[in-house]
Structure 1
Amino acid sequence: MDLRRLRCFVAVAEELHFTRAAARLHIEQSPLSRTIRQLESDVGASLFERGGRGTHLTWAGQVLLRDARRVFAVLEQARINVKAAATGYRGMLRIALSDGIAQTRLTALLALCREEEPDVGIRLFETPFAAQVRGMRDDSFDAGFAQSDEAGEGIHCETLWSDPLVAAIPNRHPLLAFKQIPLEELLKYPLVMYHPEACHGASRQIKRILRSTDIRPNIAERAVTLELMLTLVAAGYGLGFATASQISICRHPEIVTRPLADGSARMTTFLLRPHREPSEPLQHFVDRARLLRDNSCLSEQA
């Protein structure tokens, strides 16, 4: 199968519009249409339905799109592996990050990997949770960290660690009179919450914690990153939530944190990986993540 035709097909399949796809590929629409007809002849199936309501993928087209993305992911990985080998690495792991995971723990894990296996490179990709799961299914990522375990079939989710949730409060706020803030008191004020698509896991976990009260939260704004949430809190838009480890990385001079009175309010981080036999470097990576988790648990118990 001709890779050039396959690239043209992916462009049309993703745009569902021949003119936009042609512009994306920097070619005219007429040769693009011919290329798609040639590809349909090659595979012996119609890939698109063209009608008054626009262009849509046939079932055969949907199947080919899934496989084409896998092909290009393999080609991209081959390019990465060759480049890594040329610079002295024996292998390369692609790790996806969602929900702004606890950076201090990630730092410790990456440092341990570099110390124990320096010839294995690690590339990090910040991506929404849905894209992380999709990437593991089409072999774009080897593993990932997220604050959701709702990945569905084919993805193994393992609890790694949990961190206490704290309230982010502007300085000189009346709630600072509390050393530990009851949720009922905090929910008297507007909140800055995480965007449910950009921070799927964090958003759902916090929402679940807030449901422990009968008070409906007043959501003033939604933020796509921890940094934006802290900026909005400092500006007086509302109160926010984060873990103590996250706050320690992103300190803001106009924000004070307070623990919640409910000590069970914690954010859990999960390790996600596809349900297939892991490579040796990936197995070592997972083992190190588990080691840090177990050592952290022992420290908390002590």
Structure 2
Amino acid sequence: MELRHLRCFVVVAEELHFARAAARLHIEQSPLSRIIKDLEYRLGVQLFERTTRRTRLTWAGTVLLEEARRIFAVVEQAKASVKGAAAGYRGQLRVALSDGVPQARLAALLAQCREEDPDVEICLREVPSSVQIKGLQDDLFDVGLAQTAHRAKGLLALPVWHDPLVVVLPARHQLLAYREIPLDEIARHPLVLCEPQVCEGFWQQLQPVLKPIESKMNVAERVPTLDLMMALVAAGYGLGFSSRARIVELNNPDVVIRPLADNLTMLTTFLVRRDVESSEQLDRFVKRVMHAELDVVASPVTDAMTLSAAEARP
């Protein structure tokens, strides 16, 4: 079984459409079909169920997809390790990022790592929360940052960063009459919310807040990224939610943030690692993560920027 055959299989499994997969791989559909049939023959299993209307994975195909992604992650990390060694690094920390991390904190953390541990290469990967869990358990990552408190076997989750939850509104919106927005008022307006499967940790923390108005909510759009949520809110599609830190650092003049009335919810970022004795370089990394929280809390800039420039307009 060759890596190129596995790569073709992964693309077909992601697209579930041979023509689209062939276009992604820049090959003709006929040779792609032969590659998949050859792979099925070598493995002695059926990977796809194909009809005239659709293509879907068999259970064997689903298992192979997970294993193939793990194999490619190992290959990519091997490449990164070799390149790091050639560049003069003597150590490596493999960090998985999920659910979005405030850029200001991440930048401060990485700068401190470069200054204090210049021989240690920090390899960052942005992955879904479920991939982060599996990667930590399989020793593909050394540590993860996520808004999900992973309660998985063999993992420890340490709460490290805390940011207030805020409502995100268009710069010209009737709810700006409120300094703190009542939850009942939120239910009267369309919402732009994150995709639960993509922003798993954020959604887990937001759900309890919205529970009292769940039956009355009008969800206009579901989005996979904060950038898209900001664009849709600025365009007037609805109201959104985020941590204050992430909205402030984007500094979009077409949106304004407000706290929820009678709600002091703090969105928590967790540092996740295996429940084993850690290396000295990982211990130092954890301490720097904690200091990144203290530095932001102590900074007057965050508080000064919580209201956008739009609110200063007459």
Residues 138-181 of structure 1 show CA distances to partners (whole Å, capped at 9, x for unaligned) of 33332221111145223322111211111111122111111122
**CA separation in 2, counterparts of 1:128 and 1:66?**
13
Summarize the Cα distance change of 1:192–1:76 in structure 2 as closer, same or farther, 3 Å threshold.
Answer: closer
The question of whether the paired residues in 1 share the 8 Å contact of 2:166 and 2:257 is answered with yes
**CA separation in 1, counterparts of 2:283 and 2:157?**
15
**CA separation in 1, counterparts of 2:122 and 2:47?**
42
How much has 1:209 moved relative to structure 2? 0.8
Residues 200-240 of structure 1 show CA distances to partners (whole Å, capped at 9, x for unaligned) of 11122112111245762211111211111111111111111
Summarize the Cα distance change of 1:97–1:32 in structure 2 as closer, same or farther, 3 Å threshold.
Answer: closer
How much has 1:79 moved relative to structure 2? 2.2
The match for 1:218 is 218
The match for 1:43 is none
Residues 80-104 of structure 1 show CA distances to partners (whole Å, capped at 9, x for unaligned) of 1111111121223222222222222
The match for 2:189 is 189
Alignment of 1:72-87 (within 5 A): 72-87=72-87
What's the C-alpha RMSD, in Å, of the aligned pairs? 3.6
> For 2:107, what is the secondary structure of its paired residue?
helix
**CA separation in 1, counterparts of 2:252 and 2:202?**
20
Summarize the Cα distance change of 1:197–1:214 in structure 2 as closer, same or farther, 3 Å threshold.
Answer: closer
Aligned residue pairs: how many? 289
The question of whether the paired residues in 2 share the 8 Å contact of 1:193 and 1:221 is answered with yes
Structure 1 alignment gaps of length 5 or more:
41-45
The question of whether the paired residues in 1 share the 8 Å contact of 2:160 and 2:293 is answered with yes
Summarize the Cα distance change of 1:33–1:222 in structure 2 as closer, same or farther, 3 Å threshold.
Answer: closer
Summarize the Cα distance change of 1:260–1:120 in structure 2 as closer, same or farther, 3 Å threshold.
Answer: same
Residues 18-68 of structure 1 show CA distances to partners (whole Å, capped at 9, x for unaligned) of x89x9669767668766765x65xxxxx55589898874659x95x87666
Summarize the Cα distance change of 1:74–1:224 in structure 2 as closer, same or farther, 3 Å threshold.
Answer: closer
> For 2:216, what is the secondary structure of its paired residue?
coil
Structure 2 alignment gaps of length 5 or more:
301-314
> For 1:144, what is the secondary structure of its paired residue?
strand
The match for 1:106 is 106
**CA separation in 2, counterparts of 1:137 and 1:114?**
27
**CA separation in 1, counterparts of 2:192 and 2:35?**
50
Alignment of 1:19-168 (within 5 A): 46=44, 48=46, 56=58, 62=63, 72-150=72-150, 152-168=152-168
Whether 1:235 aligns to 2:274 is: no
Summarize the Cα distance change of 1:183–1:215 in structure 2 as closer, same or farther, 3 Å threshold.
Answer: farther
The match for 2:169 is 169
Summarize the Cα distance change of 1:239–1:7 in structure 2 as closer, same or farther, 3 Å threshold.
Answer: same
Residues 92-145 of structure 1 show CA distances to partners (whole Å, capped at 9, x for unaligned) of 322222222222221221121111112212222222222222333333332221
The question of whether the paired residues in 2 share the 8 Å contact of 1:73 and 1:139 is answered with no
Whether 1:287 aligns to 2:287 is: yes
**CA separation in 2, counterparts of 1:142 and 1:223?**
29
How much has 1:298 moved relative to structure 2? 7.8
**CA separation in 2, counterparts of 1:99 and 1:278?**
24
Summarize the Cα distance change of 1:253–1:75 in structure 2 as closer, same or farther, 3 Å threshold.
Answer: closer
**CA separation in 2, counterparts of 1:290 and 1:6?**
40
Summarize the Cα distance change of 1:297–1:70 in structure 2 as closer, same or farther, 3 Å threshold.
Answer: same
Summarize the Cα distance change of 1:172–1:58 in structure 2 as closer, same or farther, 3 Å threshold.
Answer: closer
Q: TM-score, length-normalised on structure 1?
A: 0.78
How much has 1:13 moved relative to structure 2? 7.8
How much has 1:276 moved relative to structure 2? 3.8
The match for 2:267 is 267
> For 1:180, what is the secondary structure of its paired residue?
coil
How much has 1:283 moved relative to structure 2? 2.7
